Amino acid sequence: MFQVTERIIGSAVKVHRRLGPGLLESAYEVCLAHELERCGLAVVRQKAVPVIYDGIKLECGFRADLLVDGRIVVELKCKEQIHPVDEAQLLSHLRLLYLQVGLLINFHVVLLRDGIRRMVNNYREDDETAEDAENFRRERRGNFGVATSWNHYATGIVVSLWQHGKKSAGIRDTKNQREPFPRLEAQ
């Protein structure tokens, strides 16, 4: 799973380097989807996120920007800063789609690494919800019997990309590096 998120982040960096900040979210969505497909990843744009309440599947108009390989939700933003409601939106999409990992990418930054958040949906579900999740996975994956255990997760947690090792993602931390030569003060 982490290898796929690395490829998504690498593709997002490539798109951001070419286009820079300042465009609409839809432009980045189209370009990122194209770049991910070139990498051999399956991409669904504007994936409907149904709400299942009391056994009834409700189409409420919720949409995830990108669903990559049927298991990672990518939510794109183009705003000054990410707010807690943006994180809550991604966690809700993950919970409603019964998925574990998502990326929140804000393209309205100078350095894209400052706009990337990796989020993990960790929750405990009761037997009824587990049955709904299994039925949804069967419907979505064609009943291939994918063995996924959902009952060991506790609560939604934001996991920083940096906790998983910036070197493995190909990102350098330049904030904490010293300059190679000391600056000379003008006298």
* Torsion angle (degrees, nearest 10) of CA 31, 37, 39, 40: 170
In a domain, 143, yes or no: no
Per the structure, the count of domains in the chain is 1
- Domain for residue 64, yes or no? yes
Q: Give the length of the chain.
A: 187
Convert the pLDDT of each residue in 85-140 to its tens digit: 999 999 999 999 999 999 999 999 999 999 999 999 874 455 555 566 666 666 65
Residues of the chain with pLDDT under 50: 123-124, 142-183, 187
Domain annotation covers residue 83: yes
pLDDT of residue 154: 27
| CB 103, CB 119: distance < 8 Å | yes
- What is the residue range of 28's domain? 2-121+156-164
* pLDDT at position 60: 82
- Is residue 45 assigned to a domain? yes
* Residue 169 domain-assigned (yes or no): no
